[in-house]
Structure 1
Amino acid sequence: MSRNLIISLLLGILIFSSKAALSAPISEDLNSAVAYAYFQIGEDDADDQSLSLGAFLGQIKEITENHYNVASITQVLDAQKSGKTLPPRTIILTFEKFDRGFLRDVWPILEENNLPFLLFLNAAKLDTASSDEDSLDPNWDDARTLENSPLSEIGITPYSYTHSANIDNSDIEMDINRAKTLFREKMEIEPLYFSYPFGEFTPDYLDVISKQGFMAAFTQASGVIGLSTPRNLIPRFTMTDSFSDIERFRMTSSALPFPVTGITPMSVFSKANPPSLGFTASNDIPDQDIKKMNCFASGISDVSIHSTEHRIQIEIPTAFDDGKGRVNCTIPVSVTDGSGDDDNLRWRWLGFQFSFPE
């Protein structure tokens, strides 16, 4: 056998092996999107959900200078329904805790850069606004200012922004209907999007939302929006000063869907701490990719993963502190189109949020 032929055969084997090592894309990758949740934005905020204005401006610079596709939630849902491909780094900007500081500091930045956004409004806060002109409390006129912008979409929370561990279905439904009625009366709109207060939901809460006619309802668990993502469980990466660095923003913005079914428990609230977390990964995800999965629990090391075929059980060795916790599971996916990180990787991402009522 000639030397040239041997070299050709070896090259062929290497190329075949490298291609085999690459994780195959799945259909949901082609029109997936990542949503971000912003709460209080301002230099002097001490809230644990706050983000400094400087950090927010840094993210806007990253977005505008590096070919991100900032889309509305309606555009993303329509693309997924029709099978239209979306560009890598398609992201959705969502905001809560609306006040006049938002109108003063954040809204001009979004308008200047022509960035669409989804704003969740709380009817109780608008209803009880202070008459003091120097107050940051927003009123219905302030809300109408943004509702008239082509960049904005309006979503709602229940009238009462409260924890939902012990709320009856009838009370949840009444509270949501009260908010919807006010938005019809005050702004002449039918809200299409909903945000769970504090990201909290239960099976009963999900049942109520499924009957309310919303196009989508948003949690505060991390993850990526794919075609199979339940429309009443849209994930978002929360943006706070603790998680606002640009490297993390780049990594999460290129994240990929991690489609699963059979999640247990199907609730943010868990009597057991740590919870017994399980789910079934989609058959679209190859077995070799499942073996690459890692899971991380906030403040806890040595999380174990047990899988039987595509059924996965996460074993968390110790209890979460502070009555709440998060679990994030990721799978590295090799890419060759320049959409990944410095190692040419993107990450399938699946997040869970837990609360442990006393």
Structure 2
Amino acid sequence: MIFKDCHIMRNGFLIFCFVVLLAASPERAFAEDIHRIPEDRSKAVFFVYYQIGEDQYPGANIQLERFREHIQEMRSNGYNVLPLPQIVAALKNGTKLPHHTIGITLEGAYRSTVENAVPLLLEAGLPFTLFITPERVDRAGGFYADWQDIRRLMRNDQVTIGAMPYTFRNLTRLDEDETRRQISRARARFREETGSVPELFAFPYGEYTAGVQDILAEYGFTAAFAQHSGVAAQGASDLMALPRFTMTDRYGGLDRFRLTARSLPFPVTEEIPETMFRDEDISASQLIGFTLPESLRDAEGTPACFISGIGKIDLQITADGRVTVPPVENFTERRTRMNCTLPVLSAEETKHREQLWRWYGRIFVTRSAVDIEEDEEEDREISGGTGTSSDEDATAFNE
């Protein structure tokens, strides 16, 4: 299979094309002898799927046949799909994970997921985690799964159930008391209906604050999943804000699945801004930056960063590994994605082996009083439909 060398940023999604000659042997294609860093020892790629086989919702849906292709790829090309609790434990403890570890997440408890995707995953023997919003399941049927569906799934060892707030609310817009009520009520409903309480959490819209993370840890959650792109790695990833790549019709092609599934960690430090939130009044002048670890400062390639709605941007890189993004004047969307990559192999090496990429992603949220009022109204009215994650449901908010 041959790709041409190009970089495209489309609606916040980073698409790569490059010359790749895939060897007949998966082991050869995975280029075991590439330059490694400590974070490569224990790493994992997480994927999130929303609606599956519901073509009337293209923003959050992935076609059933394409989902089957992903399953076949995971089964036949050297990946190791593991239960999320096992991956999280390894990331926490520093235990070495198998080569090309993948974690599958399904979000939203859509009936299409339970009826279309779950049987395929069970038949393939692939473990997965289903994140659900209890209030939606309380509706007992229709567009969403019901508690009977959830209890039936929990009898299978391949299935892990994860939590979201009781209602599909953006926790960053709630005060502390309401945030606690949302989490506490969700835990109570899980205990009442299933006899157990999940230890994994997923943030609606992928938005979080340090305060929300602290509350989740206080309630006993061991990990939480966001929606920025990237590869999770022991010692480099926040367990309470783990990255995930989203798979939808528009951005779920097999080539892109392979590209992201084989990505490597891109650890950075000293990130600015420190949070995902940017004040509307200063967003145009606010710098974005991070520092490369010493292990990556002598890499063959140089970092490249792409911002949604803008494309590739010029970076200022100093000898001590400091990477700065100049002020961006047209952060016009409420949510803006930045994806940065670093090539692992040199041009000479890619003549014989697969080009791999280190991947680092962030999401920035520019907020104003008007935005907050509109989004709170949106939260109150979410029922049925997609209502999954972002501006264009799942898509514009991922990759």
**With structure 2 as the length reference, what TM-score do the two structures score?**
0.76
Question: Which 10-residue stretch deviates more, 150-159 or 55-64?
Answer: 55-64
Shift of 1:165: 4.3
Which residue number in structure 2 is paired with residue 7 of structure 1? none
Equivalence for 2:264: 256
Q: Is the 8 A contact 1:45 1:52 kept in 2?
A: no
The C-alpha deviation readout for 1:123-169, integer Å capped at 9, x for no partner, is 11112225xxxx23322111111111100111100112123443112
1:239 matches 2:239: no
1:176 aligned partner, one-letter code:
I
Deviation at 1:287, TM superposition (A): 1.4
Q: Which moved more, 1:44-53 or 1:94-103?
A: 44-53
Give 2:213's aligned residue: 206
> For residues 82 and 76 of structure 1, what CA distance do their matches in structure 2 show?
10
Measured in 1, the distance between the counterparts of 2:202 and 2:106 equals 10
Distance 1:81 1:208, change over 3 A: closer
Cα offset for 1:288?
A: 2.3
Which of 110, 133, 152 aligns to 1:145? It is 152
Show the counterpart of 1:184.
191
SS of residue matched to 1:25: coil
Cα RMSD (Å): 2.4
**Which residue does 2:229 correspond to in 1?**
222
Distance 1:145 1:65 in 2: 28
Q: Distance in 2 between matches of 1:210 and 1:314?
A: 33
**How do 1:12-27 and structure 2 match up within 5 A?**
24-27=35-38
Matched, 1:57 2:68: yes
Q: Does the residue aligned with 1:242 lie in a helix, a strand or coil?
A: coil
Of residues 171, 188, 200 in structure 1, which corresponds to 2:178?
171
Distance in 1, matches of 2:106 and 2:331, equals 28
CA shift in 2, pair 1:66/1:341, >3 Å: farther
How far does residue 234 in structure 1 lie from its aligned partner after superposition? 0.5
User: Quick one: distance in 1 between partners of 2:351 and 2:258?
Assistant: 8
Q: Which TM-score applies when normalising by structure 1?
A: 0.85
Q: Secondary structure at the match of 1:45?
A: coil
Distance 1:342 1:216, change over 3 A: farther
Task: Give aligned-pair identity as a percent.
Answer: 34
2:85 aligned with 1:78: no
Name which of structure 1's ranges 193-202 and 274-283 shifts more when overlaid on structure 2: 274-283
Larger RCO of the pair (alpha carbons < 8 Å, separation 6+): 2
CA distances 1:31-61 after superposition (whole Å, capped 9, x unpaired): 2110001111114232512211121111112
Do structure 1's residue 348 and structure 2's residue 355 form an aligned pair? no
Are the structure 2 counterparts of residues 316 and 329 from structure 1 closer, same or farther at C-alpha, using a change threshold of 3 Å?
farther
Looking at structure 1, the residues matched to 58 and 247 of structure 2 have their Cα atoms a distance apart, in angstroms, of 12
* Matching of residue 282 in structure 1 with residue 289 in structure 2: no
Q: Note if 1:294 corresponds to 2:304.
A: yes
In our comparison, the structure showing a higher alpha carbon Rg is 1
CA distance in 2, matches of 1:186, 1:203: 30
Moved more, 256-265 or 52-61: 256-265
| Code of the aligned partner of 1:301 | G
- In the alignment, is the contact (CA less than 8 A) between 1:303 and 1:317 conserved in 2? no
Instruction: Find 1:126's aligned residue among 137, 152, 158.
Output: 137
Query: 1: CA distance between counterparts of 2:110 and 2:324?
Result: 42
| Alignment of 1:112 onto 2:123 | yes
Secondary structure of 1:29's match?
helix
Query: Which piece of structure 1 moves more, 201-210 or 220-229?
Result: 201-210
User: Which runs of 5 or more residues in structure 2 are unaligned?
Assistant: 1-32, 372-399
Deviates more, 1:315-324 or 1:247-256: 315-324
Task: Name the structure 1 match of 2:203.
Answer: 196
Give the secondary-structure state (helix, strand or coil) at the position aligned to 1:33: strand
Contact 1:23/1:289, CA 8 A, preserved across alignment: no
Q: Which residue of 2 aligns with 1:328?
A: 339
SS in structure 2 at match of 1:86: coil
How many residue pairs get aligned? The number is: 329
Instruction: Report the CA distance shift for 1:108/1:167 in structure 2 as closer, same or farther (over 3 A).
Output: same
Are 2:16 and 1:29 equivalent residues in the alignment? Answer: no
Aligned equivalents of 1:60, 1:47: Cα separation in 2:
20
Contact 1:277 1:314 (8 Å CA) reproduced = yes
Deviations 1:13-48 (A, max 9, x none): xxxxxxxxx963112212211000111111423251
Q: Tell me, in whole angstroms, the C-alpha distance in 2 between the residues paired with 1:82 and 1:233.
A: 17
* Counterpart amino acid of residue 70 in structure 1: V
Residue 266 of structure 2 aligns with an amino acid whose one-letter code is: F
From 136, 140, 154, the equivalent of 2:161 is 154
